[in-house]
Amino acid sequence: MNQDRLLIYGAAFAIMGLSNAVIPILPELESLYKVDFGGFSSSLLFSAYFLGALATMLPFGILADRFGNLRFIGFGVVLTAISGLAILLSENLWILLISRFIEGSACGAFFPAAFATLSKSKDPRRYIGEFTFLFNAGLAAGALLSGLLAETYLKGAIFIFTFMAFLLTIFLILRHRELIYPPNIEKSGALPDSLVNLYRDSYKEITELLSHSNSGIWLSSFLLNGVIGVLIAYYPDYSLNTLTKTQLGSSIASLYVCAMITSLLVGYFRVKEKTLIRIGVIFSILGALFAIKYPFLGFSSLGGGSGIAAVGLALAAAKINADRGLVMGLFNTTIYAGLSLAPIIAGIFTGFLSYEKLFIANGCILAGALVLKE
């Protein structure tokens, strides 16, 4: 395995692990920071990370095309280490929220560059499958370790993944020459005179990417990840008196374990992207509904389905004829738009809808992805 893939795989595990280490302990963090906004406070703590990713995913994807993917992969790792340390040491709510936003920005720097690098490889289907496997492994480990360690050390999982991010930062320091002088920058032509010109040049490409012929990819990605975001954001409060932290962490972890398995397996099968997406969406709908009464079964089905659909959507996006960083930036923007905005929108309805009704509506909305023609 070459050094770029080693860095990408390790960073995916650490970045995703840290992002999910907060989820099972959301109610405890609310209590720790003396927050009392009802269920909506969980949404704020959950969504701050995804709002950071949403705000930066597309701009960083555009910049990665011009300034080098490795630089933005490294930038994401460094921001993750810094934000993790702040979350670990701070006892101030606003610092926690800002740190979660920065942590999301780290993800915004990392993912478009990582996807673009892998999509240019000799075997993108296999490597994207492995990459999806590892970032789901990180998500699973973050949720599981957080639940297991919560009783002994509330931020134990946060410490573990922050430490991993610092180890990756040391690895980056050893490769500082490649970060300063990326080997492929000179081949891509002269850099734009200014960032204004850079984004002006990208505006037309973005408009074309958002055209009707590609709209099914973006909308399906948004709906799929919106369902996941709502369920994960509100399940800690929904299950507060019925599940232990270990049970909650295990149930959420099952989502990512199943996504790991399915995303890795589909990378070795020659199935059309559209078929993968439809199969994945069907299993995700069933999982979103099952989770209401059977958390482990529901999260497992949701994870397995999302793993299948995620690979299909990534492969479909990779086939679009445009700059890879821009395409993958837009693709990942739709992912984090769903994860960040859907829980906030759902929070508006928590005042007069029970969690059960909210979760039912959540699954039914995802069914809309099945009627998309493109």
Angstrom distance (rounded) from CA 354 to CA 39: 11
DSSP-derived letter for residue 374 is: -
Angstrom distance (rounded) from CA 2 to CA 237: 43
pLDDT in tens, 79-128: 999 999 998 888 777 888 899 999 999 998 998 889 888 887 777 778 88
Split at pLDDT 50, 70, 90, the class of 188 is: very low
Task: Kindly state the average pLDDT of the residues 178-207.
Answer: 59
Alpha helices in the chain (DSSP H): 3-20, 26-32, 39-67, 69-89, 93-119, 124-149, 156-174, 176-180, 195-209, 215-238, 245-266, 273-290, 295-318, 324-349, 355-366
Residue 82 has a pLDDT of 95
pLDDT of residue 197 exceeding 70? no
pLDDT in tens, 223-261: 999 999 899 888 888 888 888 878 888 888 899 889 888
Residue 199 has a pLDDT of 59
Angstrom distance (rounded) from CA 259 to CA 151: 27
Residue of 226, 351, 245 whose CA lies nearest to 26: 245
Contact between 75 and 51 (Cβ < 8 Å): no
3-state SS, 19-88, equals HHCCHHHHHHHHHHCCCCECHHHHHHHHHHHHHHHHHHHHHHHHHHHHHCHHHHHHHHHHHHHHHHHHHH
Q: Tell me the domains of the chain and their CATH numbers.
A: 3-181+209-371 (1.20.1250.20)
Angstrom distance (rounded) from CA 180 to CA 15: 23
pTM listed for this prediction: 0.74
Q: Which two tokens stand for residue 263?
A: 């995303």
- How far from 217 is each of 171, 203, 208, 226, 309, CA to CA, in Å? 35, 19, 13, 14, 10
